[in-house]
Amino acid sequence: MELATTRFDRLPLWRRLDRWDWAYALLIAVAAGCAFTLYHHAMDAYEQAILAGSALGLVALGWFWPAWRWFFPLAGGVALLGIQLYQHDLSRGQQAFWLKYALSSQSAIMWMCSLFFLATAVYWIGLARRSAQLARMGAGLTWAAAVMGLAGLFVRWYESYLIAPDVGHIPVSNLYEVFVLFTLITALMYLYYQAKFAAAQSGALVLPVISAAVGFILWYSFDRQAHGIQPLIPALQSWWMKIHVPANFVGYGAFSLAAMLGLGELMVQKGWLKDRLPAAEVLDEMMYQAISVGFLFFTIATILGAMWAADAWGGYWSWDPKETWALIVWLNYAAWLHIRLVKGWRGAPLAWWAVIGLAVTTFAFLGVNMFLSGLHSYGGL
């Protein structure tokens, strides 16, 4: 079996793809073509390039991760159903039954929140009972939450254009939207790694940090009424936002995932929940791979941010507090990877480092907005 797998991996890419891979690629190509046909008149050259790049990226992701081939079309189908129900009239969000209770952006995101909370509870009950069935149920609930979250973001994007064409924007512009994005990315990365390492019990470690973000979403929605769609401020009226922010939050999601896995590794090493969680070596490898992916995307996001700054403010770097703390986060994980790959460290030191790294990352994400002022102050609470 191992030899067969090795030979398969050596085959050219086109020979490794089956009919489902090509059917998925065709679906994405058709969807991208329809989007271009409908909206090319409102897109500049950069946005057309982003559309093409996104289509290629989605195809590659579906070929790399088979589960994505059903997840993304399902979320897109749910979103299209909600969009169709609007019939170009935003007021139907409070009139049509399915929009009001399930498929408007706010309703879908509330379903996402509920399902993440439920998944967290199921994972922990499964951990207490050593139940593989409950762990699988927790994974199913996490998938369902991710479907509703992505569909909710798609519908919110459409709703912003129903308000007015000049209000419409990709939903990654404020804390409410990026927290939804954060929960979605963190959940999807967890689902990939738990399947790859057959470590469904690790959901009991990861879902609490997602539920904490969900708690913030609920507080921010109901206490601050921050879920309303607002026009973009001038600083965010740029196509750079479409690529910089998602790349940044792949990094944030990966670092959060790694921190929770590091915490689990420490608990296993101390003998707490040792017979209920995956082995420490498995958690350590999952943590390493998550940080590697997060570091790559955070590096890309930092470069994109510098290019956006040059376009908007005339300089690539200004030592703004947000930029400074982004550099601190980058250096922290660069050092983590150097110590592991060059010095060969493993185990508790790097697990503690990953846990502490989450505090550094959280301050860069939220603390700077709350306590410091600068060019990025538009993201305050």
Determine the pLDDT at residue 52.
95
Nearest to 203 by CA among 214, 192, 215, 194: 194
Q: Report the distance separating Cα 255 and Cα 298, nearest Å.
A: 10
Determine the pLDDT at residue 8.
43
Each residue's pLDDT, cut to its tens digit, for the chain (381 residues) gives 343 344 445 667 677 888 999 999 999 999 999 999 998 888 888 889 989 999 999 999 999 999 999 999 999 999 999 999 999 999 999 999 999 999 999 999 999 999 999 999 999 999 999 999 999 999 999 999 999 999 999 999 999 999 998 899 999 988 999 999 999 999 999 999 999 999 999 999 999 999 999 999 999 888 777 788 989 888 788 888 989 999 999 999 999 999 999 999 999 999 888 889 999 999 999 999 999 999 999 999 999 999 988 887 888 888 888 889 999 999 999 999 999 999 989 999 999 999 999 999 999 988 887 777 666 655 556
Can you state the angle between helices 105-129 and 175-196, rounded to 10 degrees? 40
**CA-based diameter of the chain, in Å?**
62
What is the pTM for the complete model shown? 0.93
DSSP code per residue over 174-231: SHHHHHHHHHHHHHHHHHHHHHHTT-GGGHHHHHHHHHHHHHHHHHHHHTS-TTS--P
Give the up-direction half-sphere exposure of residue 13: CA atoms within 13 A in the CB hemisphere.
5
Q: Is 11 helix (H, G, I), strand (E, B) or coil?
A: coil
- Beta-strand ranges (E) seen in the chain are none
Determine the pLDDT at residue 381.
61
Determine the pLDDT at residue 375.
60
Residues 6+ apart with CB under 8 A from 277: 127, 201, 202, 204, 205, 264, 267, 268, 283
Chain centroid, CA 322 distance in Å? 20
Determine the pLDDT at residue 238.
85
Dihedral sign for Cα atoms in the order 198, 201, 205, 206? positive
Cα distances (angstroms) measured from residue 69 to each of 60, 63, 131: 10, 8, 28
Count Cβ atoms below 10 Å from residue 200 Cβ, excluding itself: 21
Q: Is 346 helix (H, G, I), strand (E, B) or coil?
A: coil
CB 86 within 8 A of CB 93: yes
Q: Report the distance separating Cα 40 and Cα 254, nearest Å.
A: 34
